[in-house]
Amino acid sequence: MSAQVEEVRLSLPHIELAAHVYGPADGHPVLAVHGWMDNAMSFARLIPKLDGLRIVAVDLAGHGYSDHRPPGTGYLIWDYVYDLLHVANQFGWERFSLLGHSMGAIVSTLLAGTVPERVQRLALIDAIIPHTSKPEAAPQELAAAFESLMAQKGKRRRVHESLEAAIEARVKGKVPLNREASELLAQRGVMPVPGGYIWRTDPRLALSSPLRLTFDQAMAFVRRVTCPVNLIVAEQGYLKRIPHALEPLRGLPIDIVEQPGPHHLHLESEAGAQAVADCFNRFFRTA
C-alpha cells in the first residue's frame, strides 16, 4: 500500500481491532473484510487501484494486529458482523459499502442481509453464501467442536525457526498462496518470539465450527440483501471447486463476473489485482 495509508486502533466496547484507512476523507465509505487466516494486507495490491473510495481495511478479531477473543469464547461468524457494525458506527457511517474476500465476503453478505438499510454496495471476491449444514448434523458438529476446543488446552503454538520458514508455511497452508502474497500477509501477520517466529492468528480460528446455518437460513440472508451486488468468481478459485455453487444465485439480482486466477487473485499478482479493480471501479461508479 502507498504512504497515504493510515494505521488506526479501534477501541470497540468489547474488543480492540486494528485497521488501515485509505483514500480521500470525502470518498465513498467502504469496509474491506479479508478472509480466514489473512489480514488487512490481503488488499495491499487492490486498494491503491480503487478510485474515490474511503476504505477501512480491518484486521478481523484473531487476525493481524487485532486482539484475540477472550478465553472461553470462540470465533462465530456472526460475531464478525457485530464487530463490523461497531466499526462503521465508530466512523460515523450510517450507510456504507462492503468489499469482502472469501470468509470476509460471507461476513459481508451476512451483514448486508442483517441490516440491508445500511449497506449501499456489496463487492465480493470468490464467496457469498455462508457454509451450511443439515439440521440433523447439528448435535454431532457441536460435539466435535467441543472436543476440538478441549484438545486445544495446553497446546503449544508452532514456532518457525526463521521468518523465511514462517512465510513458506503460509505458502503451503490449507489455502495455498504464492510467495509474494505470503510475504505481504506476513508484514502484519508474523511476529518474533523466543526461538523464532509465529503467525499472530489465534490458533482457535482453526477449530471446528460449533453450529452452522442450514441452507434455507443462509439463503434467507442472501435474499434479504437489497443493495447492488457484484460477485467476482475466480476461475481457479473456491467457488469453482464446489459443484453447482452458483445455482442458488440464479434469478437473484447479483452481477456475477468470472476472472482468471486463483482464490486470492486480487493479492497474488498485480495483473489479478488490476482486473478486480477494473471490475469494482465500474461497479462503484454506478453508485
Q: Which listed CATH number (3.40.50.300, 3.30.360.10, 3.40.50.1820, 2.70.70.10) goes with 6-133+213-285? A: 3.40.50.1820
pLDDT band at 1 (very low <50, low <70, confident <90, very high): low
pLDDT over 60 at 270, yes or no: yes
With beta carbons less than 8 A apart as the criterion, state whether 81 and 110 touch: yes
Instruction: Convert the pLDDT of each residue in 132-150 to its tens digit.
Output: 999 999 999 999 999 888 8
pLDDT band at 74 (very low <50, low <70, confident <90, very high): confident
- CA angle at residue 154 from 148 to 159, to 5 degrees? 100
Around 166, how many Cα atoms within 13 Å sit in the side-chain half-sphere?
25
Of the candidate ranges 120-134, 142-156, 170-184, 223-237, the one whose mean pLDDT is the lowest:
142-156
Averaged pLDDT for residues 84-99: 98
More confident residue, 149 or 129: 129
Distance in angstroms between the alpha carbons of the first and the last residue of the chain = 25
Averaged pLDDT for residues 245-267: 95
Alpha-carbon span 63 to 280, nearest angstrom: 25
| Predicted local distance difference test score (pLDDT) of residue 243 | 86
Whether 108 is a known active-site residue: answer no
pLDDT over 80 at 154, yes or no: no
Averaged pLDDT for residues 125-133: 95
Instruction: Convert the pLDDT of each residue in 163-221 to its tens digit.
Output: 999 999 999 988 889 999 999 999 999 999 999 999 999 999 988 889 999 999 999 99
pLDDT over 60 at 126, yes or no: yes
Exactly one of 42, 66, 97, 102 is catalytic; name it: 102
Cα 79–chain centre separation:
13
| Predicted local distance difference test score (pLDDT) of residue 3 | 47
What's the mean pLDDT when you consider all of the chain? 95
Alpha-carbon span 71 to 284, nearest angstrom: 40
Alpha-carbon span 102 to 239, nearest angstrom: 9
More confident residue, 121 or 175: 121
